[in-house]
Amino acid sequence: HSAEGLGWLPGQVFFELTKEDKAARIAALGCTHYVDDLPEILDMLPASIEKILFAPSGAAVASPEWKVMTSWHQLPALLKLA
């Protein structure tokens, strides 16, 4: 991996073939927060996960319970890291 990358190891990156498998993996990993640009994925996740909809155009329809971000620069504040 390079200095410009995210610093993730191969074992930290997952690809699933179906939306259902993706949602199951997210839940099984015990994620506390999850960002996706697909509202249907966020709908599939357990209520215990903080859902963040990535909507760079601002046009996506979000649930009132979700946080919405239009830029990746907003993520630290949404995660309370800023």
Q: Match 């990156």 to its residue by tokens.
A: 13
The answer to whether the CB of 47 falls within 8 A of the CB of 23 is: no
pLDDT given for residue 2 in this prediction: 56
The pLDDT value given to residue 1: 47
Tokens of 68: 């919405």
Residue type, 47: A
* Contact present, 41 and 23 (Cβ < 8 Å): yes
Contacts of 57 (CB under 8 A, 6+ apart): 70
Residue 66: per-residue pLDDT? 93
Q: What is the C-alpha to C-alpha distance for residues 62 and 38, in angstroms, rounded to an integer?
A: 10
Say which range, 1-10, 46-55, 56-65, has the weakest mean pLDDT: 1-10
pTM over 0.85: no
